[in-house]
Amino acid sequence: MIVLAGNIGSGKTSLTQLLSLASGWTPSYESVDNNPYLADFYADMKTWAFHLQMYFLGNRAQEIETLANSGNSAVLDRSIYEDAHIFVRALYEMNNLSDRDYQAYFKLYELVLKTLPKPTLLIRLVTPVETLVDRIQQRARSIEDTIDPGYLRLLDSYYQQWDQEYAESPVLTINSQRFDFVNNPDHFKQVVNAMEKCIESKTNLVLVEPSHIIDAGVGRE
């Protein structure tokens, strides 16, 4: 099971689609249109933060379990780890989650995590906030109209912290500003080759720019 991780607008859905088409893996996309809380959350984070995160936790865990039991290879466009270590932490810092809700969430998250398989590889898409803002504006999703650049910067700071903490699988880090894997077949091929190397050697790799790959050390299983 391959999972992608990255800020809003980093290219997770696009890369998930490309990988599924190229490999025949089952794609799993984050529920946006069918999410009953997302629009309310963006309009009033304090009221709906806990509801949204509990929905994500249950939905994500169910999807992982279903894919694992199917016996098919799969690629997911967001990881369950981000919900807790990025979004819940950020919401707590913004005072949109109470101490009680924050502690309740993490207690359930840790219990759920013990029941789920670890990914084979995590693909981490790194993108400057300014680029994220441009992409979000270009795709013009109505539920994202109220996203503030300051919120994206806060999420980015938690992603940088989480990058140092994550140890569930090997990691392939990609500069998604430099790699145009959507429109450049050679860039996409480099991503696939790096993925295969990460999985085979259980090594963390960083794709800084096309034809420039850094060995970031041995990953963990």
Distance CA 182, CA 201 (A): 26
Q: pLDDT tens digits for 76-122?
A: 999 999 999 999 999 999 999 999 999 999 999 999 999 999 999 99
- The beta-strand segments (E) located in the chain are 2-6, 26-28, 74-76, 121-126, 171-175, 203-209, 212-218
| Average pLDDT score over residue span 45-68 | 95
- The reported pTM is 0.89
Instruction: Look at residue 26 and tell me whether its pLDDT is greater than 60.
Output: yes
Whole-angstrom distance, CA of residue 132 vs CA of residue 130: 5
Q: What is the DSSP letter of 118?
A: P
* Class of CATH domain 2-218: alpha beta
Q: What angle do CA 166, 29, 48 make, to 5 degrees?
A: 80
Instruction: Please give the span between the terminal C-alpha atoms of the chain, in angstroms, as a whole number.
Output: 13
Quick check: 218 pLDDT over 80? Answer: no
Q: Residues 107, 84: contact at Cβ < 8 Å? A: no
**Is the pLDDT at 221 greater than 60, yes or no?**
no
Q: How many CB atoms lie within 10 A of CB 95?
A: 10
pLDDT (tens digit per residue) in 54-65: 999 999 999 999
Among residues 33, 44, 77, 186, the one annotated as catalytic is 77
Show the tokens assigned to 168. Answer: 């569930």
Residue 145 annotated to the active site: no
Helix (H) or strand (E) holding 137: helix 129-139
> Which tokens sit at 88?
């819940």
